[in-house]
Chain A
Amino acid sequence: MLHDCTFFTRKEILQLHGRFHELAPHLVPLDYTNQPDIRLPLALIVSMPELKENPFRNRIVEVFSEDGQGNLSFNDFVDMFSALCETAPRELKTIYAFKIYDFNVDNFLCKEDLEKTLNRLTKGELTPEEVNLVCTKAMEEADLDGDSKLSFSDFENMISKAPDFLSTFHLRI
């Protein structure tokens, strides 16, 4: 069933379940028939080697969790890796990328979102003036309708021309 909802084969999904089980062996049952509603907290998911170094790890997990808090059920877990896998189409990835960078979940990338993104990317090594300059410039470039925040269409337009979005925005298991 999951196979049709994701970009994985049965084998890969089983492998994913193995990983999921590994994260919390005492919480996650190997047999799913009678207790399907297990959720792992954000802290556990984030400790996966695939996500450990990612500056946006918390956002990724939050976006894919059903409650927005970062608690993932196995379905959400599979969904996350499916959307970020290599075969996922650009449209899907763009949608999730937008959500990930939308820190305050208002469906717009405003300047604060950009600043947060930038600070995570550079570990806060740029001076505030530099951050400000970069954010202003990025906003200027990508904001097509001039409302000084990036809507999804702005974001999509910008990302669709980026040369290495697809090659960088994916996770491997």
Chain B
Amino acid sequence: AKEKERKKERDRKRRRNVARRASSARKQGNELEDRPGREERRGRKKRDKEGKGKGGEDERQEEVKNDTVAKTQKNFSNENTRKLEQKEVEVVGEEDGDTEEKRKNGRSEKGGKKEDNGRGETVEKKQKKKRVETSEEHESSEEEEDEEEKVGEEKPEVLSPEELEKLKEEVDERKKLISTLRGKPWPMRKKLLTLRESHEFVEKYEGALGKGKSRKLYAYKVMMLKKWMKFQRDFENFKTACVPWEMKIKEIESHFGSSVASYFIFLRWMYGINMILFGLTFGLVMVPEALMGRPYGSMPRKTVPRADEANAMDFAVLWDFGGYAQYSVLFYGYYNSQRAIGWLKFRMPLSYFLVGVGTVAYSYMVVIRTMARNANEDGGGDNNSFNFSWKMFTSWDYLIGNPETADNKFASITTSFKEAILEEQESRKDDNIHLTRFLRVLANFLVLCCLAGSGYLIYFVVRRSQKFALEGLESHSWWERNEVNMVMSLLGMFCPMLFDVISALENYHPRIALQWQLGRIFALFLGNLYTFIIALMDEINLKREEEEVLKLNMTIWEASLYNGTLGANSTAPPITVHPADIPRGPCWETMVGQEFVRLIVSDTMTTYITLLIGDFLRAVLVRFLNYCWCWDLEAGFPSYSEFDVSGNVLGLIFNQGMIWMGAFYAPCLPALNVLRLHVSMYLQCWAVMCCNVPQERVFKASGSNNFYMAMLLVILFLSTLPAIYTIVTIPPSFDCGPFSGKSRMFDVIQETLESDFPAWFGKVFSYASNPGLVLPFLLLMVLAIYYLQSTSKSYKQANLELKKKLQTQNEENKKKTKMAALKAAMDLEEAQKARSEAPRQQRKNNASQQSYTGEKNTVTGHLVSSFVFVYPPAPRGHRIPGPLPGNQWQPAPSVQRVPNSQRH
């Protein structure tokens, strides 16, 4: 016993010593800089106390613990807590191992400490009680410091190598625990206690030996990691903040569903493209001409003719893009054919031509690239095996703190659920397939009839109008003059409605229905385009005839001018005629440009006005007349309007087609379009949010808008055809535009090659453009395309097959887990049977208890074999039936208090 006492005394001293050493080390700032000071101080005190106070009670505690283990086994009854128990048992097992080791080492200091995990409160109370005396003790013992230090330092060296090894391992384990503690799903109190003990343990055995450095490094690493993450986050935020109208579109999406949002995303995309087109034409054509070209009034093509001068500044004329607007950089005719302008020797005609070609080429590239990317996304894993669960558990963004955003989020979640429900219902729906098929065929037949009828009507009207035009428009009535336009508008207004009614027959999924609707209206609008192009061609031919006549007159006029002055004075300086007085050609290019600009402007106006009247006014009327009306306007007939996705998308696409067609003859068109898109973005966003109601069946738009893109591609092709045709076949006007004086517009390339490049380059070019080289090259390209396409097809197939395989495997796995679960349930039952007999045995024999514990652990282990990691302790709270983590250890503190009272 005496020896025991001495040992205890020694231990206590040593521990105090170590603690003091550690604290002095800490004072030097070697340790844990980032702990809150307050906490640290408290923690240290406690640690000191614990170390001193509990040294003597170890053996007994161990016994106690073994008892508690046994008791806890008895206490558990229901299935939930079983897992919990397993974990506890695990922990206890660990402790047992620890303590046993220590006993072997001859000084078992820390037996009971781990128990504290479970009963934090009692320990803390005890600590409070002890605080006073321990601090006293601490002070008094300071005098002995030197002595003790010697003892303490000598002590660890006496250990044998194996013991040291073990100790080291344990210390490492503790360290690991400390570093992973923050990831443990334990209550805070438990974490704190574990941490305290582990720290103490590590400090005790490790001393202050060389851990300051690694700690600092670690802290630094963590800090850098955090800084880096913050930077990344900020960068992400910045990137999203750079995307224009993202918030608006998100808001619309949350209220109106993704189909309406897809229109706005498309609009934004279009805006981006037009921005680039605008940059090209503005930077390379309009600005150089305005800055470096010859100024206004220096040439006939840059001057308003005398006849128009009086009202060239009138608003009506300007609104019609006549007068000063016509003779400005906005239109083709203003540009000079001078080869190089300004001190930069800017090749204006070449630049004009290349920008025209570049606009089209860039548009093709962008559209096709976007389509390819979208197709890729489509092909990518369309894994929605957890569609609903993900929506349910991960759709709420916990970062939302703004009430408005939260409202939006609620709306968007609801919308997305509705979309998903719709998809689900659609996939479940199985009606009479024959009837559906018949109806669909019928609907398509009806639509075809409509299209054919309207096509014929357009053809008929156009032919008639051509006849009228030949006879002279003055002799006909207003209706006959505006017949084409009226017919087109009427068709454009009523046919979509008809299609809408017909599509109700088909019973398609709304997304597919929208695509059909889009396709049909697209076909109808093609008629519109066709008439427009025909009318334009007629006009061009007329102008060119006019031009021929004028050319003849011009020579006569020049001759008369020359003759007139010659008679007066033969030695006079060359005659100066004001450029406004010189007769000029009709310049069909400017006419075409004007035509397009007018069309765009009137189209824009129509869109805005229908928006204001059709949506806004209607909404206002419905809203306010509802108070004094005999039926419910809001729910009944007029109601609020829905957002017309198909009409708006088509409007956008055709508008873009016009831009592509006319941009060559009116460089201002992209600028105008940018303006228009900008305004309509705000206007439509506002209109949608304030006067439209969401569709009755909100459906999910396909993630990629490839259907829109495909239509855009068709329109792009259709609109570049006439533009290229006019450029290639019709000679430019003789007195206006950058290509005047050339027989064809593309001669500018030839000219540049000849005069701006070295001779050999021209030679190479002529060889390269030799049909003998071009044809094989084309053939090669076609072959390459064919090859690539076939490989991509095979890849796609392989992809599909793999997906199928994966799915079947998943299903198999599911089945297997089900079987395993069933088996586990059976095992559980057996175990329960065995357990009902167990308590009796337990009382008799402690040893059998031990073996039983092992058995049961294996059962529970089997049961939770599907767990990836051990189940966390059940949530705290009184609601949990069965023993709580705190309750399990209830008997322990009372026993533990005994030694304390004995000591003092």
CB within 8 Å of B: which residues of A?
1-7, 9-11, 13-14, 31-33, 36, 49-50, 52-56, 62-63, 65-69, 73, 75-76, 78-79, 82-84, 86-89, 91-92, 95-97, 99, 101-102, 105-107, 114, 117-118, 121-123, 125-126, 130, 133-134, 137-138, 141-142, 144-147, 152-153, 155-156, 158-159, 161-165, 168-172
Contact = CB atoms under 8 A, between A and B. Distances in A.
Given A66-B876, A67-B878, A168-B395, A141 B188 contact: no
Which of A96, A125, A170 gathers the greatest number of chain B CB atoms within 10 Å?
A125
Contacts of A68: 875-880
A3 B403 contact: no
B879 A105 contact: yes
- Chain B's interface size range is 35 or more
B185 A5 contact: no
A129 B418 CA distance: 12
Contacts of A122: 410, 413-414, 417
Contact of B817 (A63, A89, A105, A145): A145
B87 interface: no
Given A137-B424, A144-B814, A146-B821, A54 B396 contact: yes
Given A3-B36, A13-B36, A144-B814, A87 B226 contact: yes
B398 interface: yes
B185 A95 contact: yes
Interface of B: 32-36, 38-43, 80, 178, 181-185, 187-189, 191-192, 195-196, 199, 222-223, 225-226, 229, 233, 383, 385-403, 405-406, 410, 413-414, 417-418, 420-421, 424, 813-814, 817-818, 820-821, 864, 866-869, 871-872, 874-880
A165 B393 contact: yes
Contact of A105 (B185, B403, B424, B877): B877
Which of A4, A62, A123 gathers the greatest number of chain B CB atoms within 10 Å?
A4
A117 B398 contact: no
Given A50-B401, A92-B185, A165-B394, A33 B42 contact: yes
B403 to A, nearest CB: 6
B599 to A, nearest CB: 45
A101 B867 CA distance: 19
B821 A106 contact: no
A101 B388 CA distance: 15
Contact of A169 (B388, B398, B814): B398
Given A99-B875, A123-B410, A133 B421 contact: yes
30 contacts: A1-B36, A1-B195, A2-B39, A3-B34, A4-B178, A4-B195, A4-B199, A5-B181, A5-B192, A14-B36, A49-B401, A53-B405, A54-B396, A65-B877, A75-B189, A78-B188, A83-B185, A105-B877, A105-B880, A125-B410, A125-B414, A126-B418, A145-B820, A145-B821, A152-B871, A153-B868, A156-B868, A161-B383, A168-B396, A171-B399
A132 to B, nearest CB: 11
Contacts, number: 226
Contact of B414 (A5, A76, A126, A153): A126
Which of A1, A105, A159 gathers the greatest number of chain B CB atoms within 10 Å?
A1
A46 to B, nearest CB: 13
A61 B871 CA distance: 21
A84 B867 contact: no
Closest 4 CB pairs of A and B: A68-B877, A53-B406, A145-B821, A75-B188
A76 B418 contact: no
B392 A32 contact: no
Contacts of A144: 813-814, 817-818, 866
Given A141-B388, A146-B818, A1 B399 contact: no
A121 B181 contact: no
Contacts of B403: 52-53
Contact of A82 (B182, B867, B872): B182
Contacts of A125: 410, 414
Contacts of A79: 187-188, 191
A162 B414 contact: no
B748 to A, nearest CB: 53
Contacts of B405: 53
A73 B120 CA distance: 14
B34 A141 contact: no
Contacts of A133: 421, 424
